[in-house]
């Protein structure tokens, strides 16, 4: 009798193991089919994004950030920048929308800004140099200028800056510290009279980045490293298509970032879809 019960128990155990294995294989097959379907849609999206005019940027339906369409993760006709966003696990969400202030930088909200024109896309990053007093580094006068607190009344060297209201989105110090003064969703006052590829008023569609320097003194490695990280972030969260200098969008009027700036290093910092434009633009 014991032998019979043993073989019955063994048969039941084998049947249970076979049933569980079959169910697991069925689930694996469903997951493979779903993965295959998602990859097919991703390949389709990548194929459609290869346009002669450059890489298409799209907006994530979860976090609201811009990113290359070829990297899209698709699900139920919605577009996501990552699997985390598709699963609703990203830090940024429609309830915590991107406000234009980047993490990991020093925030110094300036009063010198206004709204961009409705529908304007931030497609350009403009590089500048600045030092106050001219040629001296490490002080807080640049910060005071952007914050509207510079004492120009009692400083003869700042007579020309009296009443000046300017700002930049970012200021990269010689140490590599990055300060942000204006949300990238708003318009900072950094470019002045300017033109880029037939479009005037570059403040409307650009991000301004000031580098602490003179244009003659070589920039620090720490500044290039910080600039690379900053541009990497900006090209992920905004539809930036090109990087240029103030001297190129306002030729004859401006000279920054100047002859000491290494544009070849910048070319290595940005995705291939982002152009480096160093040709003087035609002013209207």
- Residue ranges of E strands in the chain: 50-51, 54-55, 57-59, 66-68, 73-75, 78-80, 106-107, 113-115, 124-130, 170-172, 178-180, 186-188, 195-196, 199-200, 206-212, 242-245, 275-277
Instruction: State the Cα–Cα distance between residues 168 and 254, nearest whole angstrom.
Output: 15
Instruction: State the Cα–Cα distance between residues 52 and 110, nearest whole angstrom.
Output: 39
**Residues carrying an active site annotation:** 210
Q: How far is CA 109 from CA 142, 144, 163, 236, in A?
A: 14, 12, 19, 22
Question: 3-state class of 54 per DSSP?
Answer: strand
In degrees and rounded to multiples of 5, residue 51 shows phi and psi of: -110, 145
Q: Which residues have CB under 8 Å from 19's CB, separation 6+?
A: none
Q: What angle do CA 177, 183, 188 make, to 5 degrees?
A: 90
């Amino acid at each position: 009798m014991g032998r019979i019960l043993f073989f019955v128990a063994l048969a039941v155990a084998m049947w249970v193991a076979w049933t569980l294995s079959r169910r697991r294989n069925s689930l694996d097959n469903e997951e493979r089919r779903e993965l295959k379907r998602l990859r097919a849609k991703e390949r389709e999206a990548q194929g459609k994004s290869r346009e002669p005019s450059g890489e298409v940027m799209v907006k994530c339906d979860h976090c609201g950030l811009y990113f290359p369409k070829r990297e899209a993760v698709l699900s139920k006709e919605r577009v996501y920048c990552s699997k985390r966003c598709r699963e609703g696990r990203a830090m940024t969400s429609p309830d915590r929308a991107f406000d234009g202030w980047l993490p990991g930088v020093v925030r110094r909200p300036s009063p010198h800004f206004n709204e961009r024109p409705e529908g304007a896309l931030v497609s350009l990053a403009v590089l500048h140099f600045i030092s106050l007093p001219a040629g001296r580094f490490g002080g807080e006068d640049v910060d005071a200028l952007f914050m509207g607190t510079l004492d120009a009344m009692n400083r003869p060297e700042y007579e020309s800056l009296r009443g000046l209201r300017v700002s930049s989105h970012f200021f990269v110090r010689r140490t590599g510290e990055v300060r942000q003064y204006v949300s990238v969703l708003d318009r900072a006052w950094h470019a002045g009279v300017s033109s880029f590829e037939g479009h005037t008023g570059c403040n409307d569609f650009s991000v301004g980045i000031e580098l602490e320097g003179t244009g003659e003194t070589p920039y620090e490695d720490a500044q290039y490293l910080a600039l690379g990280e900053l541009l990497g972030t900006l090209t992920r969260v905004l539809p930036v298509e090109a990087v240029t200098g103030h001297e190129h969008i306002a030729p004859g009027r401006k000279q920054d970032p100047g002859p000491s700036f290494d544009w070849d290093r910048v070319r290595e910092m940005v995705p291939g879809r982002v152009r480096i434009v160093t040709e003087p633009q035609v002013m209207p």
